[in-house]
Structure 1
């Protein structure tokens, strides 16, 4: 049955049960006892009929649920003339079902907001004019106008001087972020500043936001393993209930005690508290930029003990950055960067993009280069501000100058050298590297505090690079020069000896290992579509430290679910014992169980308010 139709049916059954109970109470006060009994029965029959249909469907699928206890209690109450108790149970069951669906709806509110915010059209620059076009018509390299308050419909880069964006719906960061020219914009971000132009980098169907929506829909369709555990043990609980009910009737000769036992046992909080708490945990994690694809990964995340990290794009930023600038003669670092960045505007090489981005972040105004010639993979030559400039590898620049280019001292493993010459003379070098994310050591320490005992690196990079980047991090093991299948084998070996295992990566080569791990985590902001598809958890923002609140929320949601189950089952069993001993009438038992169900659902909703303590600064 579609969710919307099921929700309407739940409301209708609740109204019928409520009207029947209230009408019967009114007739009883008017001394119309026979009519009161009729009114209560009328309120019970639709609920009981719907319940029996649901039980038949479950049995057809081989599932034995605790709804059988509810059906038995209502049937027994009607059979022995306890129509008021039957009406209370009907109201309790229909009310509990409605409250459960309402609670899950509230828990999914933040996720649903993602779906409702999907833009359908965009404003595109075309031939000096602006036109509104459907998202499917937008192509990479199109130029879009993002007005104040608009949601970025696709992934792109800031084309103007700057943009101020609210990314709270995606990352949970309350403060808007300021992005300079050329910086990446995630689809789904809201323009919190003046209008700016966005250069499209991906089609709408491939954008960050579309991927997030697909993952949200998958998360909402999941079913918790703890809920399945409840289904498996429902037969045992049903047996205990029936033994208590029959024993009470057998030893006292009073069938009403059996009815009271059945009423108190219905419905079991186990089938209410678990899904509510876990879905609430999914919603809470999404607020911190951690999209967990379902309740199974959330539970697995709560119990992770081993972590395997990829290097590039995960432990490191994944993009080359300027480590230092060395100049010769009287040229300043600012001048050298000006000439290099101005010429590099003509190239799409990752190092060129990094140099240009660094110059703009420093506020340096660049010149448009002229007469540019690029030798693929080697370097560029051109004219900047009337001066001849050469930028590239040391051997390329040496060849262009016809002379030996002196290089700086020994470079650290993994570093790259970009040489710069102006007017036929070497003026210096730019040293670049894929740097370790800031705060990485604090992040790993925080993960250990959350119960992760074993942390290791698995990378395809050379051994020297892997060793150099991990100095001082205190990793338990460093595995280098690994192929994708070797990463998978490492994960499987760790699962054998140190399960459960979490793997974090961002590239296509990480996808198999992510799928093999108990919990695969993908860097969704800039990672590959393959890794996001294979992973169980996606970090919506390029901050590895989001693992900390994600794990803490998962642990908290699971703890709240178990607390709710233990308290609810304990109270139910105590109530059943009291009913068997004659201390509770069927009506009193029904009211007690109603209170227990409401209490465990409200307790489970505490997962919406979990406040992670281990949220470090972004890294």
Structure 2
């Protein structure tokens, strides 16, 4: 079973037909694995007693024909064998599901919502018409002496004009779902009011509805504004080559396709394009997740977000990078309906089912009382608007609160999921730890001194951009070491660096690098380095010593984990690509329940899928770069850190723009409070509208006051949701 947000894929076969030598199994979600059908069929055929396999993508079934041998007498054993094969493709099925769903949702929620300015203008117009009616009356504009004079008064025409957008949505609802929706109910109540000659009631229904929508629209717009403020932290600039050959600094939004831009050492690449001149060492970790910087030359591609560590390149722009990335992020969050929470979908579905109830009540009340006013009350008072807004406004207010405090939540689904998960997984480097390793101790061969060890190490690391190089150089500065003259520094990927000092080769790197060059550190040196990141140093054929680097845990990480446990987290797991000894040490320091080490990014993703297949709700906390697959496959992916990259913001469901791990339990606390308010909103809507329906059917309450009662419940819901805006959970205030 794979759980994705609100969807569950059962990757365990369910037998739907079983005859002699023939078995058909159903796998929910199999339709998303069309690309791997051929390979899946081949692997199932490799089971020696199976002689025929067919996959039906429509029914999501696998048909197998098998020889009746002793090994297949127990059908459950056969199903288990096939399940084992299918399970091997679970990651591919899930990836295809995500991609297909994203394509389906594009444009699904493109309908333009009314802005607060438009709603305010409607309210002003409505109020003006009502005031004019009170002063001048409501005679027909063109008297005909017929029944439809009621629709030709100024307030009646104004009501029809203001209601006109709802006619289309009401009709579309009937066509698409074959059932009336909330807009159909509103249109019906307004038309009924006009037929009864009560145009003021019609305007009142519209006005109160617009007030509730105005409050909702205003909250959403404030949220969008806050998101843009959070993402546009800096205005990117670059150096552009003009047609006359001059170079001018300009804003990135002025760069067009095929323009030439020059990027120097220390500058961020702001376009996607091809290098046409120069050579540079480029850090692409924020884009591709490559740990080591790479050399980029002519005719090679570079991407927005990369950082020039050394050198200068001229790039022909093919795509402006940062603007398109930011626009995608804002679009994703604005269209958060694509990430609706389960409770939000339930509210929408439930409210739609209640609309026919109002129509039925209206008919029953009229049949019993023969009172058109009481029948109309049944149409005016409905649950649907309030129930829908009870979730939408609370989630919007919660997202608004979070972005103002440097936390980006991409939809209501993740607010609810935070309250439903029971396991949290941490990446180690840069998440649990600071990501800034420091030399904590040294081991030196008896023929050398510590200063000589550090002196030679600094020589081979001086121009390297590896994080461990920085900690070696920092340690050299601390000791006041003068770096000796040396030759060109060469890097061996995954091993270390080397250079020439006084005619001898200095090597700095891992144990494998030493052994490959005939240098074998002593057992004492290797034992000394256990539990830390060892940096071995040699000079010529001599082993000099080892520097022990350690990346200490973040401040407050242990306290944050304890708070998460109090918020319902039962298990804390650490996944890392580092060695087992280092992982064990860090896991013990932060009281993690378990850990797995020496993992590749895809291994982390597989581990999360395994947990989800067991029914576990998983939160993944990482840096948003190498952890991208794991972040995207978890129920909730959280990127932690002030240096969150564009990739982190796009991949994660929640982005915390701070280095404080205490923000994680605080976000969980805000989510819990948001869900409490959603439940309160349900109670408010159901309670007030139920009282209104009873009064409307049994008393002489007017349509006007029925409309007031109904819309006041909606306004109460919006007002109650706005309390989330004032919540101080993210500031550490309870």
1:39 aligns with 2:154: yes
Quote the residue 1:470 is aligned against: 587
The answer to whether the Cα contact below 8 Å between 1:300 and 1:518 also exists between their aligned partners in 2 is yes
In the TM superposition, what is the alpha-carbon distance from 1:103 to its structure 2 partner?
Answer: 2.2
- Counterpart check, 1:584 vs 2:701: yes
Range moving further from structure 2, 328-337 or 1-10: 328-337
Q: 1:23 maps to which residue?
A: 132
Deviation at 1:606, TM superposition (A): 1.9
Please tell me whether the aligned partners of residues 405 and 730 of structure 2 are also in contact (alpha carbons under 8 angstroms). no
> Are positions 1:411 and 2:411 aligned together?
no
- Looking at structure 2, the residues matched to 200 and 454 of structure 1 have their Cα atoms a distance apart, in angstroms, of 48
1:570 and 2:687 aligned:
yes
Q: 1:271 aligns with which of 388, 409, 414?
A: 388
CA drift at 1:509: 5.9
Q: Is the 8 A contact 1:21 1:39 kept in 2?
A: no
CA distance in 1 between partners of 2:520 and 2:609 (Å): 53
Task: Give the alignment partner of residue 225 of structure 2, picking from 109, 131, 144.
Answer: 109
Closer, same or farther in 2 for the Cα pair 1:207/1:547, shift >3 Å?
farther
Aligned partner (choices 301, 315, 328) of residue 418 of structure 2: 301
Q: Which residue number corresponds to residue 222 of structure 1?
A: 336
| Displacement of 1:416 | 0.6
**Partner of residue 392 from structure 1, selected from 498, 508, 517:** 508
Shift of the alpha carbon at 1:614? 8.1
Q: CA deviation at 1:87?
A: 1.6
| Deviates most, 334-343 or 85-94 | 334-343
- Cα offsets for 1:499-542 (capped at 9, x unmatched): 32222334766444333322223457667876654432333445
CA contact (8 A) 2:205 2:707 kept: yes
Per the alignment, residue 241 of structure 1 pairs with 358
Structure 1 residue 259, shift from structure 2 partner: 1.6
Does the C-alpha gap of structure 1 residues 118 and 241 become closer, same or farther in structure 2, counting only changes over 3 Å? farther
The verdict on how the C-alpha distance between 1:366 and 1:138 changes in structure 2, with shifts beyond 3 A counting, is farther
SS in 2 for 1:538: strand
CA contact (8 A) 1:521 1:539 kept: yes
Indicate the larger mover: 365-374 or 253-262. 365-374
Q: Give the conservation status (yes or no) of the 8 Å contact 1:227–1:271.
A: yes
| Deviations 1:77-128, CA, capped at 9 Å, x for gaps | 11222222112112122333333212211232211324666626346999xx
Cα distance, 1:33 vs structure 2: 6.8
Structure 1 runs not aligned, ≥5 long: 146-151, 155-185, 188-196
1:57 is the counterpart of 2:155: no
1:258 lines up with 2:371 in the alignment: no
Structure 2 contact 688–709 (Cα < 8 Å) conserved: no
2:239–2:262 Cα contact (<8 Å) kept: no
Please name the residue that 1:447 is paired with. Answer: 564
* Cα separation, 1, equivalents of 2:127 and 2:383: 18
Contact 2:623 2:648 in 1 (8 A): yes
SS in 1 for 2:637: strand
Residue 14, structure 1, aligned to residue 103, structure 2: no
Conservation of the 8 A alpha-carbon contact between 1:124 and 1:143: no
Between the aligned partners of 1:253 and 1:561, the Cα distance in structure 2 is: 38
Aligned to 1:149: none
The 8 Å contact of residues 292 and 538 in structure 1, kept in 2 or not, is answered as yes
Moved more, 64-73 or 6-15: 6-15
Q: Normalising by structure 1, report the TM-score.
A: 0.75
- Deviation track 1:152-196 (CA, whole Å, cap 9, x = no partner) reads 989xxxxxxxxxxxxxxxxxxxxxxxxxxxxxxx99xxxxxxxxx
Question: Are the structure 2 counterparts of residues 418 and 201 from structure 1 closer, same or farther at C-alpha, using a change threshold of 3 Å?
Answer: farther
Q: Decide whether the 8 Å contact of 2:576 with 2:597 is kept in 1.
A: yes
- Tell me by how many angstroms 1:407 deviates: 3.6
Distance 2:480 2:322 in 1: 30
Q: Is 1:520 equivalent to 2:637 in the alignment?
A: yes
Kept in 2, the 8 Å contact 1:318–1:434? The answer is yes
From 237, 255, 258, the counterpart of 1:121: 237
Contact 1:285 1:291 in 2 (8 A): yes
- The more displaced of 329-338 and 599-608 is 329-338
Q: Give the root-mean-square deviation of aligned CA atoms.
A: 4.6
Q: Deviations over 1:20-52 (max 9, x none)?
A: 222112235xxx777897232122111222211
**Distance in 1 between residues matched to 2:521 and 2:353, nearest whole Å:** 83
Where does residue 188 of structure 2 map in the other structure? 72
**Alignment partner, residue 399 of structure 2:** 282
8 Å contact kept, 1:103–1:601: no
Q: Secondary structure in 1 aligned to 2:165?
A: helix
- State the number of aligned residues: 562
Q: Which sits farther off after the overlay, 598-607 or 208-217?
A: 208-217
Shift of 1:374: 4.1
Structure 2, unmatched stretches of 5+, are 1-109, 142-148, 272-303
Name the CA distance, whole Å, in 1 between partners of 2:421 and 2:715.
32
Residues 110 and 14 (structure 1 numbering): CA distance in 2 closer, same or farther, change over 3 Å? same
CA–CA separation in structure 1 for the residues paired with 2:515 and 2:576: 33
